[in-house]
Amino acid sequence: MDGHVRTATPDDALDVRRILDAAMLEPGDVETRIENEDVLVAGDHRGGSEDGERILGTVVLESRDGVHGAHVSAIGVRRRHRGKGIGRALMERALERERRLTVRFDDGVRPFYEALGFAIEPIDDQRHRGVIALEQS
């Protein structure tokens, strides 16, 4: 992926909401999650300028009190930028930061989570849960 992954700022809220709305995902109060630094965005620069950054994807995390790691509430990438490693870059950064991630997802995106190395178990015929953790050093 060309570009970078960073923690979202309040200025990113509209782009984050648009990406998640287009993917029909509702992770709750995005603005509060951004304030809590629980949202990451992947962007690139138009013409190489900082002012021209485009947000191409986002992941929203849910930190749980007293629990190691975070739950992935939502991940979305703009449709025409899918398949370019943006989702992978977002998840790798989230895992690097949190050390352990859990997720619930539909059958259609199972290959994405398998490719990332998540341990997956079925919830029912259409839904799954996954977990991945970095080794402690």
pLDDT in tens, 61-81: 998 766 789 999 999 999 999
pTM: 0.89
pLDDT in tens, 118-137: 999 999 999 999 999 987 65
In the chain the domains, ranked by start, together with CATH numbers, are: 4-101 (3.40.630.30)
Q: Do residues 42 and 1 touch, judged by C-beta distance below 8 A?
A: yes
Query: Residue 59 to residues 48, 51, 117, 118, 135: CA-CA distances in angstroms?
Result: 24, 22, 17, 16, 22
